A and B are shown apart, each in its own frame.
Chain A
């Protein structure tokens, strides 16, 4: 059973960098695309971007200038960094696996990590 688990600080100060890591267990990290998706309180899901296990990335254009994703296949982890955060970045952040048939919908999700931007 594939499981994803997000980890990272629950509170980040405005203008600082949000950092989250997703650890994959029960299945391979290789051969898949891995996405970050967020959900601000009371709002719809927003795709942040994906990273392929080989390291190629694709980001949501409005966030592209602030987002960096990385992957560590030896640790079966991938990470998100979002710089210059504001209150608008407060959200539950999910990591998710792109389906094998097409990496652009998501067949496994983490439980989510609430990140609050506050001084």
Chain B
């Protein structure tokens, strides 16, 4: 099973700031990585797939990069609605599909 590790666990950022979240895979997942945003009491929302392709309706301030075992999600200018938990998910080697433990982005 591929283990996905996200860091940091929590990030405190001021609105308007730039945020970089990290996701590491225990073995290569090529570019078969998705990112999700989850707000309290809500279902996850797909942000990116293929490591860097934005899903439908996702603003351009969200971008992704990486391949193999190291990935990043960048939010270029944090808006109030972006404070949430972010998860990565690999879909290269399965079953099972696996998720990271999440990074919480909170208001500084």
B residues in contact with A58, CB < 8 Å: 94-95
Q: Is B96 an interface residue when CB atoms closer than 8 A count as contact?
A: yes
Are B91 and A109 within 8 A (Cβ)? no
Q: Is the CB of A107 within 8 A of B46?
A: yes
Interface centre among B45, B91, B97 (most CB of A within 10 A): B97
- In the complex, whether B83 has a CB less than 8 A from a CB of chain A is no
What per-residue 1/0 map shows which CB atoms of B91-104 lie under 8 Å from chain A?
10011111111100
Whether a CB of chain B sits under 8 angstroms from the CB of A94 is: yes
Q: Please tell me if the beta carbons of B44 and A109 are within 8 angstroms of each other in the complex.
A: yes
User: Which bucket holds chain A's interface residue count?
Assistant: 20 to 34
Nearest A residue (CB) for B6: A44
Residue in chain B with minimal CB distance to A92: B43
Determine if A111 and B44 form an interchain contact, defined as CB atoms under 8 angstroms apart. Answer: no
Contact with B along A90-113 (1 / 0, CB 8 A): 000010100101101111011110
The answer, yes or no, to whether B13 is at the interface (CB within 8 Å) is: no
Is A105 a contact partner of B99 (Cβ separation < 8 A)? no
Q: Are B91 and A111 in contact (CB under 8 A)?
A: no
- B71 at interface (Cβ–Cβ under 8 A)? no
Complex contact B49–A105 (CB within 8 A): yes
- State whether B96 touches A61 (Cβ < 8 A): yes
Q: Mask for B53-75, Cβ within 8 A of A = 1, else 0?
A: 00110000000000000000000
* A87 interface residue (CB < 8 Å to B): no
Interfacial residues, chain B to chain A (CB-CB below 8 A)? 32, 34, 36, 42-46, 49, 55-56, 87, 89, 91, 94-102
Given A58-B95, A105-B91, output 10 extra A-B contacts at Cβ < 8 Å: A45-B44, A47-B96, A49-B95, A59-B95, A60-B97, A94-B43, A99-B46, A101-B49, A110-B43, A111-B42
* 28 A/B residue pairs, CB under 8 Å, sorted by A: A35-B97, A44-B87, A44-B101, A47-B95, A47-B97, A49-B95, A58-B94, A60-B95, A60-B97, A61-B95, A62-B96, A94-B43, A94-B44, A101-B49, A102-B32, A102-B91, A104-B32, A104-B91, A104-B97, A105-B89, A106-B36, A106-B44, A106-B46, A107-B46, A109-B44, A109-B45, A111-B42, A112-B43
